[in-house]
Structure 1
Amino acid sequence: MSDANGFEEGASGSQGDPRVLIAMNAVLSTVFASTIVWGLSVIGAVELTAINVATGAILLFALTYAITLQ
């Protein structure tokens, strides 16, 4: 029982490594941006290119980073 309480206290007090959060944000933003650009290319709104995916990923990354700083 004492080990479980110690883990719970340690996990609840840990903020985590910010580099992991930034890496996860970059990966997930890229995946989400590629999905959005692919969907928009299916309906003919934009062309599916690496530049469009990168632009969307940068915008999503910046937006989520700014929101999580608050």
Structure 2
Amino acid sequence: MPTSEPGADRPSPDRATPDKLLHTRTGTEVSPEDMVLATGRDLTPRNLEWARRKLAEEGPGAIEKLLP
């Protein structure tokens, strides 16, 4: 008969993905095209303009808010 330890069904904390690996930025410039594609939208002039404004207001970290 198998025995189970309390909490054995929970993931171990040492198996969690480190925070530094969860971020999307790679140290490269974030382009308006990157922003549009991160939202799943088409690359249209209107969407690119939205992305330019978003980057101007929030900087390259704006893409972090769009991707998990």
Q: TM-score over 0.5 for the alignment?
A: no
Larger Rg: 2
**Structure (1 or 2) with the greater helix fraction:** 1
Give the TM-score normalised by the residue count of structure 1: 0.31
Give the TM-score normalised by the residue count of structure 2: 0.32
